[in-house]
Homo-oligomer: A and B are copies of this chain.
Amino acid sequence: MYLKNNIRRLLVYRQCLLKLKELGFEVIYSYNLGREASVSPEQVRKDFSKFGIKGKRKAGYEIDHLLEALDIIFKKDKDQNVILVGMGNIGKALSNYKGFAQHKIVICAAFDIDPSKQTKSYKIPVYPVEDISRIVKMYHVKIAIIAVPKPAAQEVCNRLIASGIQGIINFSPTNLKHPKNIFINNIDLANEMESLIYFTLNQ
């Protein structure tokens, strides 16, 4: 697993900090943030410490300072262009998802094999899959989302990698074969449900 937990926790802290800032807080203690993020205060301090983020003893952490530090870690100085392949159920939902904008994640183009979906009527222009390479190069895209049906996923993955994509988030419920310098984050919705069910029903 390359998706280390401390990175994921930093992202959770970020969400919490934005919320707390909105509520008017300027300074926060590891204890408060931990409570908000469902994490122990020691864990919060360790996570920050690991990335050289400093607070002040007795005075906690300045929220703005934390957010700046997190912005640097997650390179939030500029928009991150990503592409989306597959405009079915999930693809459409992702193309409309408002949460990305706040993170400066921009889906700059989508792709589908179905010509009826290759239109400018969606928020995002939808191109034929053959255009992937051209668009990837044009916008210097490094990250792609796979939201195609299972049988098409591996082929799309190969095409993406051949076009220069380096990181893929895969919503197709299949394990993609890929060179090990490519990062893949699999989100299998049914498996996410299953693991929740497992832990819920086994107390």
Q: Using CB atoms and an 8 Å cutoff, list the residues of chain A in contact with chain B.
A: 1-3, 5, 7-8, 11-12, 15-16, 19, 36-38, 73-75, 80, 82, 89-90, 92-94, 96-97, 99-100, 102-103, 105, 142-143, 145, 166-169, 173-175, 181, 183, 185-201, 203
Question: What residues of B have a CB within 8 angstroms of the CB of A36 in the complex?
Answer: 175
| Pairwise interchain contact A11-B99, C-beta atoms closer than 8 A | no
Q: Out of B100, B175, B201, name the residue touching A75 (CB < 8 Å).
A: B201
**A193 interface neighbour in B100, B190, B194, Cβ under 8 Å:** B100
A62 to B19 CA separation, bound complex (whole angstroms):
51
Given known contacts A169-B192, A189-B97, is B15 in contact with A75 (CB within 8 Å)?
A: no
Copies of this chain in the oligomer: 2
Q: Which of B3, B37, B75 touches A195 (beta carbons < 8 Å)?
A: B3
Q: How far is the CB of A15 from chain B (nearest CB, A)?
A: 6
CA distance A163 to B36 in the complex (A): 24
Per the bound structure, the CA–CA distance linking A197 and B11 in Å amounts to: 12
Contacts of A199 in B (CB 8 A): 2-3, 7, 167, 183
- A15 CA / B73 CA spacing, docked (Å): 34
Could you tell me the dominant secondary structure of chain A's interface residues? helix
- Note all chain B residues with C-beta closer than 8 A to A195: 3, 7-8, 11, 185
Are B15 and A173 in contact, CB atoms less than 8 angstroms apart?
yes
Q: Does B143 lie within 8 Å of A196, measured CB to CB? A: yes
Task: Please report the C-alpha to C-alpha distance between residue A97 and residue B188 in the assembled complex, in whole angstroms.
Answer: 11
Determine if A197 and B100 form an interchain contact, defined as CB atoms under 8 angstroms apart: no
Give chain B nearest CB distance to A169 CB in angstroms: 5
Which residues of chain B have C-beta atoms less than 8 A from A189's C-beta? 94, 97, 99-100
Q: Counting chain B CB atoms within 10 Å of each CB, which of A5, A99, A103, A187 scores highest?
A: A99
Whether the pair B97, A197 counts as a contact (CB closer than 8 A) is no
Partner of A12, one of B5, B7, B175, B197: B175
